[in-house]
């Protein structure tokens, strides 16, 4: 606690839906106040072959949330013998967040993926609200990133185009937000599943 308020780590995290896939991206800086704790924090996670999540907030909370969600999703796949839909994956995370609403996870979460109904992006707040959208930005750099997305997004973009747009949006957020920076983790998911998970330095 500093100067009467809790220090919540910043981030710039985006999710974008394209014609045949989705991209989730976040920068890698972990900071508390004016101190950079790590330059290699992971905020993008693969949940299944066809879905992933990207977070902004307390890294410990996002790690705990993802760990619990992956365990339940694995049980679902064992019992049902198939991959869950992206909506089901988002609902698992939403249920965990809502169940802990009186002692919430300090994390904003973006869930994205591709299933038999197409590409999907969902944004979840710390209390479990779940909203589907074409694109979203969360974290302390979200205002800057959202401006880039609003300017350049249009329906039907290819996977390469939404990847380039995600990089542009996160870089813009990191340029103006001191709590964001040190590279970008990117998860690209297409109709055949995860296309790539990589780190880009800048």
Number of H helices, E strands in the chain: 4, 12
* Catalytic residue list contains 12: yes
Handedness of CA 80, 83, 87, 91 (dihedral sign): positive
8 A C-beta contact, residue 43 and residue 61: no
pLDDT at residue number 2 = 46
Any residues with CB less than 8 A from the CB of 193 and at least 6 apart, and which?
49, 50, 114
**What domains are defined for the chain?**
13-200 (3.60.20.10)
The per-residue pLDDT for range 12-57, each reduced to its tens digit, is 999 999 999 999 999 999 988 788 889 999 999 999 999 999 999 9
Q: pLDDT under 50 in the chain at which residues? A: 1-2, 4-5
User: Which residue in 12, 13, 109, 136 is the catalytic one?
Assistant: 12
Helices (H), 30-157: 59-80, 86-99, 142-152
Strand-pairing partners, residue 184, are 27, 200
């Amino acid at each position: 606690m500093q100067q009467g308020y809790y220090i919540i780590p910043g981030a710039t995290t985006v999710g974008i839906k394209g014609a045949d896939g989705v991209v989730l991206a976040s920068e890698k800086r972990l900071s508390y106040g004016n101190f950079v704790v790590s330059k290699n924090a992971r905020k993008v996670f693969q949940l299944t072959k066809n879905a992933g999540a990207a977070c902004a907030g307390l890294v410990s909370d996002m790690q705990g949330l993802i760990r619990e969600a992956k365990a339940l999703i694995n049980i679902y796949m064992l019992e049902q013998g198939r991959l869950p839909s992206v909506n089901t994956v988002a609902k698992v995370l939403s249920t965990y967040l809502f169940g802990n609403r009186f002692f919430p996870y300090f994390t904003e979460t973006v869930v994205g993926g591709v299933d038999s109904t197409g590409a999907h992006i969902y944004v979840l707040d710390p209390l479990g609200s779940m909203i589907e959208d074409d694109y979203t930005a969360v974290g302390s750099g979200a205002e800057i990133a959202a401006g880039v997305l609003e300017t350049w997004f249009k329906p039907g973009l290819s996977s390469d185009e939404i990847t380039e747009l995600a990089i542009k949006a996160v870089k813009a957020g990191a340029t103006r937000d001191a709590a964001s920076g040190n590279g970008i983790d990117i998860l690209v998911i297409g109709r055949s599943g995860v296309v790539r998970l990589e780190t880009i330095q800048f």
